[in-house]
Amino acid sequence: MPDKNQRYGQKGETLAVRYLQKSGYRILEKNYRTNLGEIDIIAKDKDSIVFVEVKARQTGSFGNPKGAITADKQRKISMVALQYLKSTRQLSARARFDVVAVHPSDGRERIEVVKNAFDLCYV
């Protein structure tokens, strides 16, 4: 059974999916897992495949959720994204990495999308 933080993370991902869909994204995969790691959301936005990392915080105590996307996390997401593109035969597709930050705000959550949050990292 998920703990409180995991449940909040799942809620953040659900909010992110809804927000992205309302913004015109078409969701292709949720919680795409491989032996290399996981990508929270894979979507299509116009002519781009978008790999989305969702970060949610229940309080502002730990800083901005976007700060949790370290260089190591970017590298891991990049490797999983390349594996996805290869397995779906879309290596030549236009792709980008977005981050969705879910912030607490007056008893509700505020969603912030950072498009092109980082570049492909594979070294």
Q: How confident is the model at residue 64 (pLDDT cuts 50, 70, 90)?
A: low
d(CA 53, CA 65): 11
Contact between residue 24 and residue 17 where contact means Cβ atoms under 8 Å apart: no
* CA distances in angstroms from 57 to 11, 44, 68, 82, listed in the order given: 11, 26, 10, 28
pTM here? 0.88
Residue ranges covered by each domain of the chain: 4-118
Fold category of 4-118 in CATH: Trna Endonuclease; Chain: A, domain 1 (3.40.1350)
pLDDT on residue 10:
83
